Each structure stands twice: as structure tokens, then as C-alpha cells.
A and B are shown apart, each in its own frame.
Chain A
Amino acid sequence: MRRLQLIFLFFFTLTFFSFASEKVSSQRYIDPLTAKNLVKEKGAVFVDTMSYLECMDHRIPGSLCISLEEFEKRSPQLLKDKTQHIIFYCESDECLRAGETHNVAKTMGYENLYILDGGLPAWKRAGFEIESIIRIRRQPVESIKFNKLEEFKKQKKNLFILDVRSEHLFKKGHLEGAVNIPLYVLHRRIKEIPKDRSVLVVDETGKRSFLVCCYLINNGIRDVTRLFGGMKEIERGKKQKR
């Protein structure tokens, strides 16, 4: 019985590791120049995996704006050919959205998938152009640090906390009273945000909330503040307290 358990454990470990390594090695990372050549030679298309707002604000020319969250729903219409060469990217070299979208596409049967190594910053560093279809005018935006949050809440009595993270992250944990409007649907649900209230924008790491705030200000929401460092800072603060 014990021997059987050992054999089972051995094969389980083997399968786990082979699966894990396969998952990583199957992702093909390409540099900006290769990506550009791929477009020219194989008719590859770029897919910006950020939200619609971010993609329309700045993207690689000719990219399709399909966010990670909507890829499964929208790709059958936009990418009908499963042999189409697709290059996924996101807007920072730390972002994992391109890799995650790549995995979703793979399970859907797309065959020729790539990830732009280093994302949009690498593209810019290579000296290639980007385009702006609907630019969000940048605005002065106030930010608040997590250790001043309680004070801030007391100060802004009618505070509307807008959590722009995706639904599953919101479910895992959020600030008390926060309303979840994920960034990828924000342009469709902007009307749900009250114009007469102070708005605090919360994202994952504080990197996306600035643009969201600018978008809100441009849409007539005047009192907008962003949470510096996003939910990551809140978690860090909790750990420090512990």
C-alpha cells in the first residue's frame, strides 16, 4: 500500500512539474523588432490586453483592443481565423495580462500566439511609434496614502469608493463600502458614478488609477482622488501592522 502511495506521489510530482514547465515554455516571447516583422510577413495582429480606455488612449498602431476579461467573449467575432498570428501585450514589463490572455487564447484553440517581451515600454524603447485614438487629457490628480485613508474618509463624508479591479480580485477583498466597476467596462458604466460625490479610485497597484481619475475628471466628476499604491499598499500596511 505504501509503495503504491509512493508511486502515485512520484507520478503526480512528475505530471505537475511537466505541466508547470510546459505552461511557461509554451509562451513565446518576442522582441519589438521581431513583432514588427511578424506583422509585415505573416499579417500578425497586436492585441492590447489592457482596458478599452487605456487601449484607445495609447496603443501600438492598428492594435485590437480586447481586454483580458473580455477576450473569451469578443475574440470569436474579432479573430475568426484560429491560425491568425496574434501578439499580446500590456502596458508595463511587470504586467501579467498579456500572458494570461495568451493562456486563454490557447485554450480556445488559437495556434500562433506570441507575447511582446517587455510590453509597451519595450516597444517605445525600440523607438517605434504608438497611436492615440481617444486621448484622455491628463489632469492634476490628488493621491492619498493608505496610512491617511481613515482620516481622508472622515474628511470626505460622502465618499464614493470606486474599485476598478476585475471582479474576482474585488471578491477576494476590498475596502469597506467600495463599488466595483472594473476598468474594462468603465467607459460603458461611467454614468453609475455620481458627479456630486467625492470619488476615491482604487486599483491593484496604483499604476492604473491615474488615468482613470483623468477620465473621470474629463467626464465632469470634479472631486477625484486616487489611492497611492492601490490595494497592494493596503495589504502591505496590514502586514506591517501585524
Chain B
Amino acid sequence: MTVLKRKGLFLFFMLLINSFFIGDMSYGMTKVACTDCHRERRFTTLFRESVHGNIGCTGCHEPIKSLDRHIRKKEGLRLISCGKCHGEIEKVYNNSFHYLYEDFRCYDCHYEIHGLKPQKEQIKIAIAKNCIRCHPNEEYAASGHGASVMKGNKDSATCSDCHGLHDTKAYHTSTDKYILEAREFYNKACKSCHSNYEMMRRNNLSPDTVKYYEETYHGKVQDLGYPTSVAGCADCHTTHNILPKEHPDSTINPKNLAKNCERCHPKIHPRFAEYKAHPDYRDRKKYPILYASFVFMVGLLLITFAFYWTHTLLWWRKVYWEKHRLEALGIKLETPLNHQEANQEIKRFSIQDRVMHVFLVISFFGLVITGFPIKYHNAPWAKVLIKAMGGAHNAGLYHRIAALILIALFLITLWRCIKFVFPNGFEKKNREGWKERLFGPDSLMPNKKDWQQFKAMVKWFFNKGDYPHFDRWTYWEKFDFLAVFWGMFIIGGSGITLWAPELASYIYPGWVFNIASIFHSEEALLAALFIFTVHFFNTHLIPTKFPMDPIIFTGRYKLEEMWKNRRLEYERLLKEGRIETLKVKHPSISLKIISSMFGHASLWLGLIFTLVLLWTFFFG
């Protein structure tokens, strides 16, 4: 206490002497300056030379009301908010982690506030050095980014490039909250630099890494807005200790990669790590197998559609022109059948076929609706669909349920095919006649006749011959069936691989997952577009059947129709005397309504989806 008193008296005495010479504060009748008492170098010389030197003490400190009280430490100095001059910075800072959670003030980072000078050092180095005062992160200092910053690389990321400067985010990863926001923010931060073409080229890095990542399952789901479900940048490359691949401590070093993958994919075989996280499958030299897979699938798509869309167009033209010609001439095609016979319903599909087709339609739409938003993740409708399904996780669940239905249908079909060829069992004596059954008229296996019928059909398209006569199955129906059948091996096999990649890694290496992704994705496009265009046209939209043929749901059609479209089958059945056994009643009204509703709904949904897909493909 006595010391304080003595100090106070001394200060008072000093001020009294000073007041005779200089001063800008009134003390009694005398004006005094702050530096009369606060004589430290930082308040005098350093402050005068600092960036704030011209605004004086009262630029940041409110003037004191009573010097006497101030000397006796009864009145402290009130700070004027830095935001008075630095308003924009204050605005963002007030929402930053440092202010909201740590209650940091400007001078806690700008610690030499009285002697603050314009930054001579490169700004990125200065920022890193300042942050490291409280966050001494040896990992960052050793990382590719940190080491480059310290070497003077102006492109490399300093602390503020990822975390923000004055706007350090409140969803800091140390908090358990805002996990989604944090992942979105940090992924975006990585992408913003790594997709900068000029910057990446300058630093001998691929400028397309982000683009390729977004073509993978991880990237697509992340882009759809579900970054917590998949691997983002930091999950593989880590956060601060990002080291080049060649470095033995790097998480992406081949020696450490399997361990890295295992954090999300437990119980994997080490070859799981051979998966390419962001490959350019258009690069023939670097990824020859991926390139070949991609080219094969694109080729398959192009050939299939070039062939079938041409076939469809020619067919449509012929039917329409023929219909017009007959109408113009007033000709009506006569059948040898009388009115009663012509209207007789004939069974074409069994109840098993019909139920299976209903499930096939449901599972197919299920797969399309849940899968295509992932394929076209950039499209606005993709986000809407995924959100409507309750997120990527739910969409994935529904996709798998639909896939299980399809797999079950496939297995039932397989079993039925076997039973069709070997109806009496597999013993040698019971196998007799299997070849005849396999290539017979009731089989869906293509044969010579199909080739002849196809040629005749083409001739008919060009007015060079008559409409060919068909048996039970036409060549395009056989193709429809077999395309789905064989397609199941590609889409099903790749789908199961992608469903359980951990298990799959015990059978084949990780790069097969990349191929599986290409196959699954392109085969899905092939299947969906084929069904929604070619199949829909052949069976529903052709002018003779427009707008829809409900035969697959009702299971029956008129004898007249059989005579017109499947003359060979009609004649065969007539000859075999089996036609009587196939006669059934006209479908009930309820069956007709249900068939019509389900059929139309599926048809329109498919057509709308086709338009959306084509729009996305060309303009999306």
C-alpha cells in the first residue's frame, strides 16, 4: 500500500513538472500527454512508427474522465472496438470460432498491437507463424503444405486457406457438432485450390483430380450433399500431415494405404487398396484397363442404340405409312376367322410370368430412381430425388432392396429356363429332346429362323417384301429377354461387388471396383434407355398397339391378334390341336383397370424419366 502511495505521489510530481512544458490532457489547468507517464518504447517510438501511429492513443482507448482516478488506478482504460475502423473484419470475426468459443480479441493474435507494422514477411508465412504460437502443429509443419509455405511457395495452403482467417469457422472439427458443415467446408476448401488449373499446373499437380474424384462413388455422394457417408479429401489424405505419396509416413503411400482404407472399410484384404480413388479412365496410358472398360461400355451403348433406334424408326415409319395407305384406299385387313373366333381370348402368359413382370417393373423403377441420382449427381433433380427418399443412406437401402428383388427374379427365371429344357430331370434318359426344346418355337433361344425373320423385316421396312410371319417369340422379344438376362451378369456382378467391396477384395484387387463402377453405371444407362425407348416402342407405342398393350398384365389376347402377329404359332397350335386348351375368358373389369393403371403409370414414368435423362445428357 505504501509502495502504491509512493508511486502515485511520484507520478503526480512528474506530471506537475511536465505540465510546464508539454501536454494534451487537462490536469487541473495543465494539459498532459499519455506518453508523459507511459514512457515505454512500445507506447512512444514503436507506436509512432506503427500502422496506427497517426490515430493517437484515443484512436483505440476512450479518453479517461479523471486523470487523478486514473493515476490511482481507480479508472481503467476502456478500449474502443477495432470494428470502428475495421468494420467488415469485425463483422466476420464476430461469427468466428475464436470469438464465439475462445473469446479471443484482436490483440490476442495481433499481439504487438502498439508496434504493429506492415507485414514485411510473405503473408502466408506470417499467418502460419502466428497461428503456430497457439497451435504448435508439428504435423502441419512437416506436411507438404506447411513445408512448401515455409519455403516461400505462395500457392501452398497456409492455415487460413483451409480454416479461414478472421472467419475461422465455428464448426471446428474439435466440436462434436456441425460435422456435416465441417466436412462440406473442408472438402470445398481442398477443392477450391486443387481444381484451380493454373495453380495446379504451376505446382506439377493434376488439375483434374477433383473432377475425377467427383466421378467416383465417394465424390458423387459427397456432391449430392451427404459428405458424412463417404470418404472426403481429409479421410484419405488426413488433415495436417498431408505428405506426398512417396513419403514413407504418407497415408497414401502404398505401404500405408490399406490401413488408411481400413478406417472406413474394416476387414479388407490388402489388395483392396489397389482401388483408384480419382482415376482418369480416359487416360489410356495410365489406366489401360479402365480405359478399355470405358471404351467397351460406351461402344456397347452406341452399337445397341444405333442398331435398335434405327430399327425402331424404320419400323415406326413402315407401320404408320402402311396404316395411312390402307386408310386412304379404304382397305380393311380381313381374317379367315369368324367374329366369335376372332374375339376369343387366348392365354399367352402364365400367372407366374405376369406376377414376375410386375415385380420386375417395380424393382426396375426402384433401381432407376435410387441409382440414377448418383450417376447424374450434378443434375438438380438428383438432389431433389435423394432428399425425397430421405438421403443417400436411405436411397442406398432402397436400391439394395430393389436389387434383391431383381436377383430373386433372375434366379427364378434361371430355374424356370432349366426346367423348360430339362422338364423331367437331369438324368441321361430324362434329358432326351433337350436340344429340340432349347431351339424349338417355344424357346427364347435365338435360332436361324430369327435371322431370316429379321432379314424379312428389314425388307418389309423398305417395301421390298411382306411382313414376316412369327412364331411364339419374335427376334426382338428374344433380344429383350436375353439382354436383360446377360445384362444381369454385368450389372448384378458389379452391383454385388460394390455392395460388399470388403469381401470382394478377397477375390479380386481394388481396381476391379473401378471397373465395376464403370460397368454398373453404363449398363444401368443402357438398360434404362433400352427399356424406356426400344422396349416401350416395340410393345406399347407402335401405332398398332398405341398407347399401351396390357397383355403382360392380363396374360391374354385375341385370337385375331395371334393370327395377325404370330401366324406361325397360330398355325402350329391349330395343327397340334392345342388351341382349344389355350382358350380363356375375357379378363375381368377389375383386372383390366388394375392392368391399365399400373401399365400406364409405368409407361409414363419411364417416358418422363427418359426425357429427364436426355435433357441431363445434352443440357445438364
Question: Of B102-110, B348-356, B419-427, B603-611, which binds chain A?
Answer: B102-110
> With the chains together, A115 CA to B99 CA distance in Å?
21
Closest beta carbon of chain A to B315's beta carbon, Å: 64
Are A92 and B134 in touch, CB under 8 angstroms? no
A138 touches B104 (CB 8 A): yes
Q: In the complex, which residues of chain A have a beta carbon less than 8 angstroms from the beta carbon of B95?
A: 125
The distance in angstroms between the C-alpha atoms of A93 and B97, with both chains bound, is: 12
Interface segment, A78-86, A139-147, A159-167? Answer: A139-147
Number of interface residues of A (CB under 8 A): 24
Q: Does B101 contact A (CB under 8 A)?
A: yes
Cβ of A184 under 8 Å from chain B? no
Residue-wise interface mask of B (125-166) relative to A, using a CB-CB cutoff of 8 A (1 in contact, 0 not): 000000001111000000000000000000000000000000
Contacting residues, chain B, for A121 (C-beta < 8 A) = 100-101, 170
Do B136 and A143 touch across chains, with their CB atoms under 8 A apart? yes
Question: By the criterion CB–CB under 8 Å, are B177 and A57 in contact?
Answer: no
Residue A94 is within 8 A (CB to CB) of chain B in the complex = yes
**B121 located at the interface, meaning its Cβ lies under 8 Å from any Cβ of chain A in the complex:** no
Chain A, range 64-96, C-beta contacts under 8 Å to B? 91-94
When the two chains form the complex, which single residue of A94, A125, A140, A210 contacts B102, counting CB atoms closer than 8 Å? A210
Question: Given the known A-B contacts A94-B175, A94-B177, are A138 and B101 also in contact in the complex, defined by CB atoms under 8 Å?
Answer: no
B94 with A124: CB separation less than 8 A: yes
Report B-chain residues with C-beta under 8 Å of the C-beta of A130: 103
Q: How near does chain B come to A126, taking the closest CB pair, in angstroms?
A: 10
Per-residue CB proximity of B356-375 to A under 8 Å, as 1/0?
Answer: 00000000000000000000
Q: Does A207 contact B (CB under 8 A)?
A: yes
Could you tell me the distance in whole angstroms from the C-beta of A174 to the nearest C-beta in chain B? 21
B134 x A93 contact (CB < 8 A)? no
Q: Report the nearest B residue to A127, measured CB to CB.
A: B94
Q: Are A58 and B103 in contact (CB under 8 A)?
A: yes
Which chain A positions have C-beta within 8 A of B133? 140
Greatest chain B CB density within 10 A among A57, A120, A138 is at A138
Query: Chain A 93-110, CB within 8 Å of chain B: the 1/0 string?
Result: 110000000000000000
Do the beta carbons of B135 and A207 come within 8 Å of each other? no
Do A207 and B103 touch across chains, with their CB atoms under 8 A apart?
A: no
Taking a contact as CB atoms under 8 Å apart, the answer to whether A141 and B100 are in contact is no
* Docked complex Cα distance between A58 and B99 (Å): 11
Whether B590 is near chain A, meaning CB under 8 Å from some CB there, is no
A182 at the interface (CB under 8 A from B): no
Complex: how many Å from CA A206 to CA B108? Answer: 19
Confirm or deny: B174 has a beta carbon within 8 angstroms of a beta carbon on chain A.
yes
Whether A143 pairs with B94 at a CB distance below 8 angstroms is no
Asked if B174 contacts A143 (CB within 8 A), the reply is: no
Contacts of A143 in B (CB 8 A): 135-136
Q: CB < 8 Å: which of B104, B108, B174, B177 contacts A93?
A: B177
Give chain B residues whose Cβ lies under 8 Å from the Cβ of A205.
174
Q: Which of B's residues lie within 8 Å of A, judged by CB? A: 94-95, 99-104, 108, 133-136, 170, 174-177
A-B contact pairs, 19 of them (CB 8 A): A57-B103, A92-B101, A94-B175, A94-B177, A120-B100, A121-B101, A124-B94, A125-B95, A125-B100, A132-B103, A138-B104, A138-B134, A140-B136, A141-B134, A142-B136, A205-B174, A207-B101, A207-B174, A210-B102
Instruction: Using A127-B94, A138-B108, A210-B134 as known contacts, list a sample of 16 further A-B pairs with CB atoms less than 8 Å apart, ordered by residue number in A.
Output: A57-B103, A91-B101, A92-B175, A93-B177, A94-B176, A120-B100, A121-B100, A124-B94, A125-B94, A132-B103, A138-B104, A140-B133, A142-B136, A143-B135, A206-B174, A207-B174
